[in-house]
């Protein structure tokens, strides 16, 4: 006799619903299934109207982030066996819900772009001059922050972003940090205008949940605190101790 | 306009779940964060009392504590605990946050932390010495 597990899913249809409601499905329990497998089973066998995002199924693309029993998780990396008594799946917190488990990511994408997450050079070398070389130590300085997969779990875990949607947010700041620490990059002064703005690093009150939620071991809270220190340090050194240093 | 383009141009109706004032009760980690933030109220209250005592000293109205005001002693101990908690958690992070470059590497976090805690110990000893000196010699 097959075993089943109750999977309760938040449903929302913008064409018919004023607010979301919950629907429970009985899904066959398999020891080796992840939560995403249960959602795929519902879509394929029980309710074809269910909407959600997914792609790679191996914790790389960052598409399948959802709240599982209130905690933001990658559903492709979260085993069903951890929720043997049943589970509730909701769209990621702090984002507008488009339909069922699909959230609007426009705000996040705009914030990512605003920190210019690419290598900025004051003067590009010609191709013939060879590659920009880095030592292993120089790569180690930013390696951790380059592991971000833009899954937005950190935004869903952050109550500051929940209260103030203008906040630039953990992933965008961590990504800015990744490029600011890159020895090939010369764009930190361009990024500081966004990072040190009122919606930037100073909004963060260090709840620390962004780092706890990250499925890739990135520490956005560390990136934010380091950026705070560097920004103050840059201001003190540049504007107060050496006010004429850069006016030549 | 094609059907697809017409559908694309429609405004998307979304639902935003309100965070609610009880958000900090939903997770233990959120609750601890609020406890940590709330301790500031105790510390500010103690500092305001301290400032009034300094003002009273300047105006010649200072009355040294008798040592029998147990409620205030308990309050001070709680404030001291909160202050030490903040100091220790803050300085524990100093190694992660402060970055002192040495060539293409950085000074180890443990070294920065050791300097930070050493500095705290030094400032505490000097501060206590000054206060004891003022208390016993000057008053």
Kindly list the averaged pLDDT for each block of 10 residues, start to end, along chain A of length 248.
Answer: 90 95 97 97 98 97 97 97 97 97 97 97 89 92 96 97 96 98 95 96 96 97 96 84 59
User: Nearest CB to B14: which of A14, A212, A225?
Assistant: A14
Q: Give the number of A-B residue pairs with CB atoms closer than 8 Å.
A: 66
Angle at A236 between CA A231 and CA A237, to 5 degrees: 100
Whether chain A has a CB inside 8 Å of the CB on B17: the answer is yes
Domains of chain A: 4-103 (3.10.20.30), 106-241 (1.10.1060.10)
Whether chain A has a CB inside 8 Å of the CB on B36: the answer is no
Bridge-based pairing of strands A4-11 and A87-90 is: parallel
Q: Which residue of A has its CA nearest to B99?
A: A226
- How do the pLDDT tens digits run along chain B, 139 residues long? 677 887 777 777 899 988 889 999 999 999 999 999 999 999 999 999 989 988 998 898 888 777 778 888 899 999 999 999 999 999 999 999 998 888 888 899 999 999 999 999 999 999 999 988 887 776 6
Q: Residue B29 has what pLDDT?
A: 94
Q: Residue B138 has what pLDDT?
A: 65
Q: How far apart are CA B64 and CA B56, in angstroms?
A: 11
Q: Which residues of B touch A163 (CB under 8 A)?
A: 19
Helix, coil or strand: residue B30: helix
Class of domain B25-138: mainly alpha
């Amino acid at each position: 006799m097959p075993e089943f597990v109750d999977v309760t899913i938040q449903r929302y249809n913008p064409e018919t619903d004023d607010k979301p409601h919950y629907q429970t499905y009985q899904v066959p329990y398999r020891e080796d299934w992840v939560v995403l497998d249960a959602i795929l089973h519902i879509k394929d066998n029980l309710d074809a109207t269910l909407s959600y995002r997914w792609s790679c199924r191996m914790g790389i693309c960052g598409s399948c982030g959802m709240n599982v029993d209130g905690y933001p998780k990658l559903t492709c990396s979260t085993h069903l066996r951890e929720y043997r008594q049943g589970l509730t799946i909701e769209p990621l917190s702090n984002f507008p819900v488009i339909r069922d488990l699909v959230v609007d990511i426009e705000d996040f994408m705009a914030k990512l772009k605003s920190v210019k997450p690419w290598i900025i050079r004051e003067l590009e070398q010609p191709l013939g001059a060879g590659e920009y070389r880095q030592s292993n130590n120089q790569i180690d300085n930013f390696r951790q922050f380059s592991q971000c997969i833009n899954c937005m779990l950190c935004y869903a875990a952050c109550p500051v972003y929940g209260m103030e949607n203008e906040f630039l947010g953990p992933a965008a700041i961590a990504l800015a940090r990744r490029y600011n620490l890159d020895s090939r990059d010369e764009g930190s002064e361009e990024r500081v205008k966004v990072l040190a703005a009122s919606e930037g690093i100073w909004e963060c009150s260090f709840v620390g949940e962004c780092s706890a939620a990250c499925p890739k071991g990135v520490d956005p809270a560390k990136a934010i605190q380091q950026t705070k220190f560097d920004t103050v340090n840059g201001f003190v050194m540049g504007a107060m101790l050496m006010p004429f240093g850069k006016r030549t | 306009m094609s059907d697809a383009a017409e559908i694309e141009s429609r405004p998307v109706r979304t639902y935003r779940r309100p965070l609610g004032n009880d958000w900090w009760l939903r997770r233990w980690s959120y609750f601890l964060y609020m406890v940590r933030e709330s301790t500031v109220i105790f510390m500010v209250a103690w500092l305001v009392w301290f400032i009034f005592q300094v003002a009273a000293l300047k105006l010649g109205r200072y009355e040294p504590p008798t040592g029998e005001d147990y409620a205030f002693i308990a309050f001070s101990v709680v404030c001291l605990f909160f202050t030490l908690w903040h100091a220790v958690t803050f300085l524990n992070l100093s190694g992660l946050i402060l970055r002192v470059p040495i060539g293409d590497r950085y000074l180890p976090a443990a070294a920065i932390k050791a300097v930070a805690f050493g500095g705290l110990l030094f400032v505490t000893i000097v501060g206590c010495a000054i206060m004891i000196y003022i208390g016993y010699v000057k008053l």
